[in-house]
């Protein structure tokens, strides 16, 4: 099986990996290619931009959360009908969860997928030193293949030719083009990363980026590098949870989706559908009531940016409170947890009323960032599964809870080194709200447990009636 593929990696964070990735996705799409995007690591924002640029849903692969077998499975499922795949890395090529091992890094994913690497280098203030940088990256890990180099933020063809000559003479790694700096083709960012696709005001940005890049990137050479990928050896496992009952009556799941709540792993949503869930999107910002569902899934996002709109929508907040009072099931992550709290205090200190299910106040702080991989060990059986189950995910937030009353947690989280962090998964009635974004594929019994909880409720209701 031939699955052409390339990893887009950088020498460091901020070097322009996303710009290059979006340029390639858009340029190849304009040529009529089916290009499948992927994102290395726990990222919700870049994949949304990938989707608009390529027309195909981007998938996450992650060495720590998922492991080699799951990553290969996710890759093959998504890539098998594509002409080529573009895999955007994270941070620097060799940066991960350990200073001395490759785990959690882009390099680890490149080796798991047996994919060559296009290295993105910011050449704006360099000349021959660029050759030393590329030489070091190419030689650092002999098991990794640096197939080519793309320079970013290059203002003139003369500067590019100088860099190209230096690198190709000293390293024998081909330089396949460059990207010019252009503020009109830049996606603004904020404290959690780029602005999301739901906040974009210029739908032509991706095509314009692709058109600009097509004049300075050797797309034919880049496609040839992807086509030269080693033969893919199929080794699929099933992501589908075990003991799935036949779907007689789907479980309706309301998925909050708007600029305030848009951080979801595609695999989480797909797994819920596979075990009998029917997803219905709604907007806590704009809708006046939740849809007719049995479960609400409140994902992460930017409730702190849209707190005023969320506060003003008193009808929706009252509807969710009533849904919980009547026994409705709610699963919330990070931004969803903040929305369920009593109040939310933004970066400027202004306080907004939220739903009021969680007996605590969410407080934003520019100096209080929480970031890292997490493993949740369930200390009680319930909505997420049986006691003792371990589910992997990550945290990334600038908020914390204050004035928290007595609450129960479904489990405790540890970091990548196994250090105990704290309890997570506040549980109130049939609500579970975590700061950790869980990746369901790390333990696919999670969506099954959630769906089974609804089915058990149905049976109890039928019995009591």
Single out the catalytic residue among 221, 262, 319, 334. 334
User: Which residues have C-beta within 8 Å of that of residue 286, sequence separation ≥ 6?
Assistant: 258, 313
Are 273 and 279 in contact, with CB atoms under 8 Å apart? Answer: yes
User: Which residues have C-beta within 8 Å of that of residue 63, sequence separation ≥ 6?
Assistant: 71, 96, 102, 103, 104, 105, 108, 109, 112
Are 309 and 261 in contact, with CB atoms under 8 Å apart? Answer: no
Q: Rounded distance, CA 120 to CA 92, Å? A: 10
Q: Rounded distance, CA 394 to CA 96, Å? A: 13
Torsion over CA: 37, 255, 412, 363 (sign)? positive
User: Which residues have C-beta within 8 Å of that of residue 410, sequence separation ≥ 6?
Assistant: 376, 378, 379, 380, 382, 383, 384, 424, 425, 427, 432, 434
User: Which residues have C-beta within 8 Å of that of residue 322, sequence separation ≥ 6?
Assistant: none
User: Which structure tokens are listed for 376?
Assistant: 């949740």
262 is catalytic: no
Backbone angles phi, psi at 206, to 5 degrees: -65, -45
User: Which residues have C-beta within 8 Å of that of residue 32, sequence separation ≥ 6?
Assistant: none
Measured at the alpha carbon of residue 353, what is the angle toward residues 351 and 358, in degrees to the nearest 5? 110
Torsion over CA: 258, 260, 261, 264 (sign)? positive
Helical (H) or strand (E) element with 222:
helix 219-227
Across the beta sheet with 437-438, what order do the strands follow?
277-282, 251-256, 295-298, 329-333, 431-434, 420-428, 408-414, 370-378, 390-397, 437-438
Helical (H) or strand (E) element with 227:
helix 219-227
Radius of gyration in angstroms for the set of CA atoms belonging to the chain, rounded to a whole number: 23
User: Which structure tokens are listed for 235?
Assistant: 């080794």
For residue 455, which of 298, 265, 284, 247 has the smallest C-alpha distance? 247
User: Which residues have C-beta within 8 Å of that of residue 55, sequence separation ≥ 6?
Assistant: 29
Q: Rounded distance, CA 447 to CA 276, Å? A: 9
Residues annotated as part of the active site: 334
């Amino acid at each position: 099986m031939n699955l052409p593929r390339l990893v887009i990696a950088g020498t460091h964070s901020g070097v322009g990996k996303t710009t290059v990735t979006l340029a390639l996705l858009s340029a190849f799409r304009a040529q009529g290619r089916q290009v499948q995007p992927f994102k290395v690591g726990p990222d919700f924002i870049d994949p949304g931009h990938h989707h608009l640029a390529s027309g195909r849903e981007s998938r996450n692969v992650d060495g720590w959360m998922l492991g080699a077998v799951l990553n290969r499975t996710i890759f093959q499922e998504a890539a098998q009908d594509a002409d080529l795949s573009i895999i955007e890395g994270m941070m620097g090529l060799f940066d991960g969860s350990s200073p001395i091992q490759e785990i959690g890094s882009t390099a680890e994913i490149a080796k798991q997928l047996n994919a060559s690497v296009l290295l993105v280098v910011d050449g704006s203030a360099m000349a021959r030193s660029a050759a030393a940088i590329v030489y070091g990256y190419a030689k650092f890990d002999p098991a990794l293949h640096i197939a080519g180099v793309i320079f970013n933020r290059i203002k003139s063809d003369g500067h590019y030719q100088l860099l190209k000559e230096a690198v190709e003479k000293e390293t024998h790694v081909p330089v396949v083009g460059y990207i010019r700096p252009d503020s009109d083709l830049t996606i603004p960012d904020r404290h959690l990363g780029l602005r999301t696709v739901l906040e974009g005001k210029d739908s032509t940005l991706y095509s314009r980026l692709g058109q600009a890049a097509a004049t300075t990137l050797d797309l034919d050479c880049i496609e040839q590098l992807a086509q030269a990928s080693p033969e893919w050896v199929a080794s699929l496992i099933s992501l589908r949870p075990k003991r799935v009952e036949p779907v007689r009556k789907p479980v309706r799941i309301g998925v909050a989706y708007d600029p305030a709540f848009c951080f979801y792993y595609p695999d989480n949503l797909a797994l819920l559908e596979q075990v009998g869930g029917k997803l219905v999107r709604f907007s806590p910002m704009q809708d006046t009531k939740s849809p007719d569902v049995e479960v609400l899934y409140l994902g992460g996002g930017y409730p702190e940016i849209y707190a005023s709109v969320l506060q003003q929508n008193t009808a929706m907040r009252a509807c969710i409170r009533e849904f919980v009072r009547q026994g409705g099931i709610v699963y919330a992550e990070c931004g969803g947890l903040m929305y369920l709290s009593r109040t939310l205090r933004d970066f400027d200190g202004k306080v907004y009323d939220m739903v009021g299910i969680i007996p605590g106040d969410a407080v934003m702080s520019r100096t209080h960032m929480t970031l890292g991989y997490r493993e949740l060990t369930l200390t009680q059986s319930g909505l997420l599964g049986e006691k003792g189950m371990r589910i992997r995910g990550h945290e990334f937030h600038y908020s914390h809870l204050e004035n928290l009353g007595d609450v129960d947690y479904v489990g405790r989280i540890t970091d990548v080194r196994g250090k105990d962090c704290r309890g997570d998964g506040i549980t109130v009635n049939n609500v579970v709200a975590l700061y950790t974004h869980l990746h369901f594929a790390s333990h696919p019994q999670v969506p099954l447990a959630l769906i089974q909880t609804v089915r058990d409720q149905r049976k109890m209701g039928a019995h009591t009636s």
